[in-house]
Structure 1
C-alpha cells in the first residue's frame, strides 16, 4: 500500500519562524522528512495542485465551480451545461490602504441568510443586462444561486474573457493584489461594486452586526470554467474533509472517505492500493496568522498521523509514503520507503530548515 499525504502549509517560512518550530516536539515528522528523498517545484496554490493530481487542465481559471457543483448541486449541473463561476460570500474590511478579505472560515452564514442575500441580488440584477456577457437580452443577465450557504454560483451561457484568483489565495489578504484580469474584468469589477453597495445597507447585515457578527458585504468571483473533457487520477482511494477534493473524487469515480482521527483505520479495513490523503487543518491557521492554532494542529498531526505512519513503514505495512506540502511559492515533496529508514547518516533536523 502507498499513501500520499497532501498538507498545505506544513512548512511556511514567512510566517513560522525557527523559534516557533523549536517550541514543537515532532520526532516522527522530523524522521520522515530527514529520511525522505526531496523534490520541489513552483506552487500555483492548493486548487491547482489538486487539479493537476486529477489530470484537470487549466482553462482561464482552474474550473473549480463546475466541479464542486457536482456535489453541491448535481441537478443544476445536469440542467445547464456551459460556464459556471463561483461567487462566494465574503466580508471586506478596510485597514489603512488595504481592503482585507475574510471568508467563511471566520464567519458563519446560514442557508436561510444565503437565500435572502441571493434573492436581493437577483432582484437587483433582474433588470440589468451586461453587453459583454451576451448579445442576447436574457442571456446577458446574471442570476445567483445559493446552492450551499457559503458556496454561491453563477451560470453563464458564454465563456467570459476573465481570469480570477481563487478565494483560497486571497483569504486574509488585501484584495487589491488579486483583482480579476482579462478583457471582461472591468464589467465584473463593476458588478462587484454594485453588489457591495447593495449589501452594505441590507437589513440582514444590520441584524448580523447587532449580534456582533461580521456582515456579508461582498462576493468573490473565482474558479470559472466548463466541464473538463477528462479526468486522470492514479489513486484508488481518496481521504479528505475538503469539498473540492471530495468533488474531484466523486466526478472521477474514485472511492472517497472523510478523514479518520486515527490512521490505523486503514489496517482495520485491510485496504490496499494507492491512497491520497488531504489534510487541510493547517492552511486556514496560516491564512489568518493563528500561530497558536497552527502549533496545536501540527501537534495533533504528529500523534494521529505521522507517528502511526512511521510505525507502518517500520513494520512493512506501508510500502511508500509521500508527504507533499505547498505554500504560496513552492511545492515540496518528501518520498519515503521502508529502506529509507536505514539511512542513519540522515539525522533529524528542525522543521525550520525545510521551511527555508
Structure 2
C-alpha cells in the first residue's frame, strides 16, 4: 500500500507567530517529517495541486474547476454539455481599511430556496442567451456560456480571506466580466433575501466570484487507484477518472488492517479553513486530533511494513512541501526528530 497524504496548511503561514507551535505534542508527525526525504516547491492551492496530479492543464488560463464539479452537481451535463462552464460562487465581501476582503461559504449557509430565488433573479435581470446562471448546489453556483472568454481568473480558494483587488480577472474580455461583477453586486445589494438575512444577523450574499472555467474534459487519467476524502473536488476527480472514491475512514487502524493494495490519495483538509480564517485555536486542536487519528497509526504501519511508502504533501501561502517516508527511513538514527516549525 502506497499512500499520498495531502494536508493543506500543515504549516502556519504567518511566520510572525512562531508561538502557535508551542506545546503541540505531535511526536509521530515530527518523526515522519524529520526522517523522510523532503522537497520544497512553489506554493499551490489544493485544487491546483490536484489538477496537476491528474495531468490536467489550464484552459484559457483557468483551472477547470467548474466542469469537474459538474460530475457531482449535474452528472448528466458533465457527460453531454459542450458549453464553457465557470464557477460563479456566492460570497460575502466586506470593506476593511483600504481594501475588500472575501469570505466564502464556510462563513455562511444558504438554503436551497434562497439559492433558487437568487438564480431566478440573476437570470431575469442579467441572464441572456449567451449566459445562464445555475445553482446545482446551494453553495456552488455556475454560469454557462457558449464560448470561452479570453480571460484569466483565480479560483475561489485562492482569494478567500484575501484582498480581491489583487485577484480580479485579467485579459481581453475581463472588462466585460468586471461589468457583470458590478451589476451582480448592485442586484444583490438590496435583494429581499439579503434584507431578511441581515435582519436575522446572518451574513448577506453581496457578490459572486467568477473562476475555474473550462469545457468538459472527456478523458482524465488518475495516478491513484483510490481516493479517500470528504472533499467534493477530489471526489469529482475520482468520478471523472472512474476510480474508487470513499469517505475518510473513521478508524484508521481498522482501515490499515485491510491492506488494500494500490496507490491511495488521502485528503485531510480540515486545517485549511482555520488557517485561512486565522483561527489559531481550531488549527492547533485539529492538528492534535490528526496526530492521534492519523500520524501515530501511520507511523506504526510504516514501521510494521503495512505501508510501503508514505508521501506527505502540504502547501500554504509560502510554499508546498513533499516528505517521502519508507520503512528504512525510520532506521536513520542519525536523523533526529525536529520541531514542526523547522520543516515549513
Please classify the TM superposition score into its range, dividing by the shorter chain length: over 0.9
Q: Once the 2 structures are TM-superposed, how far is the Cα of residue 105 of structure 1 from its aligned partner?
A: 0.5
- What is residue 78 of structure 1 aligned with on the other side? 79
- What is residue 209 of structure 1 aligned with on the other side? 198
Return the alpha-carbon distance in structure 2 between the equivalents of residues 154 and 15 of structure 1. Answer: 38
Greater mean deviation of Cα atoms: 254-263 or 237-246: 254-263
Return the alpha-carbon distance in structure 1 between the equivalents of residues 333 and 257 of structure 2. Answer: 31
Contact preservation (8 Å) 1:9, 1:283:
yes
Return the alpha-carbon distance in structure 2 between the equivalents of residues 6 and 77 of structure 1. Answer: 26
- 2:36 is the counterpart of 1:36: yes
Match of 1:235 among 198, 214, 224: 224
**CA 323–277 in structure 1, closer or farther in 2 if over 3 Å, else same:** same
- Kindly provide the CA deviation profile for residues 164-185 of structure 1, in whole angstroms up to 9, marking residues without a partner as x: 1110011111101111001111
SS of residue paired to 1:108: coil
Structure 1: state its 5+ residue gaps. Answer: 129-137
SS of residue paired to 1:264: helix
Contact preservation (8 Å) 1:5, 1:277:
yes
How many residue pairs end up in the alignment? 343
| Aligned 1:102-113 pairs, distance under 5 A | 102-113=103-114
Q: Once the 2 structures are TM-superposed, how far is the Cα of residue 329 of structure 1 from its aligned partner?
A: 3.1
- What is residue 261 of structure 1 aligned with on the other side? 250
- Kindly provide the CA deviation profile for residues 270-297 of structure 1, in whole angstroms up to 9, marking residues without a partner as x: 3111100011101111111001110011
Contact preservation (8 Å) 2:13, 2:318:
no
SS of residue paired to 1:155: strand
Return the alpha-carbon distance in structure 2 between the equivalents of residues 244 and 266 of structure 1. Answer: 23
- 2:160 is the counterpart of 1:171: yes
- Kindly provide the CA deviation profile for residues 65-97 of structure 1, in whole angstroms up to 9, marking residues without a partner as x: 000011111123334212100000000111111
SS of residue paired to 1:276: strand
| Aligned 1:48-63 pairs, distance under 5 A | 48-59=48-59, 60-63=61-64
- Kindly provide the CA deviation profile for residues 195-249 of structure 1, in whole angstroms up to 9, marking residues without a partner as x: 0010010110011011110000100001001123532222111001111100001
Q: Once the 2 structures are TM-superposed, how far is the Cα of residue 41 of structure 1 from its aligned partner?
A: 1.3
| Aligned 1:182-221 pairs, distance under 5 A | 182-221=171-210
How well do the aligned residues superpose, as a CA RMSD in angstroms?
A: 1.3
Return the alpha-carbon distance in structure 1 between the equivalents of residues 165 and 80 of structure 2. Answer: 36
- What is residue 131 of structure 1 aligned with on the other side? none
- 2:299 is the counterpart of 1:298: no
Return the alpha-carbon distance in structure 1 between the equivalents of residues 16 and 47 of structure 2. Answer: 23
Contact preservation (8 Å) 1:22, 1:350:
no
- Kindly provide the CA deviation profile for residues 97-138 of structure 1, in whole angstroms up to 9, marking residues without a partner as x: 111100000111111110011111011024x6xxxxxxxxx3
- Kindly provide the CA deviation profile for residues 138-160 of structure 1, in whole angstroms up to 9, marking residues without a partner as x: 3x3x2100100010111111110
Contact preservation (8 Å) 1:56, 1:230:
no
Structure 2: state its 5+ residue gaps. Answer: none
Contact preservation (8 Å) 2:81, 2:216:
no
- What is residue 92 of structure 1 aligned with on the other side? 93
Return the alpha-carbon distance in structure 2 between the equivalents of residues 354 and 345 of structure 1. Answer: 17
- Kindly provide the CA deviation profile for residues 1-51 of structure 1, in whole angstroms up to 9, marking residues without a partner as x: 111100001013425732111221100000000100011211232111000
- Kindly provide the CA deviation profile for residues 291-312 of structure 1, in whole angstroms up to 9, marking residues without a partner as x: 1110011001000000000000
Return the alpha-carbon distance in structure 2 between the equivalents of residues 245 and 150 of structure 1. Answer: 17
What TM-score does the superposition give when structure 2 sets the normalisation length?
0.97
- 2:233 is the counterpart of 1:244: yes
SS of residue paired to 2:205: coil
**CA 241–15 in structure 1, closer or farther in 2 if over 3 Å, else same:** farther
**Aligned structure 1 segments of 4 or more residues deviating by more than 4 angstroms:** none
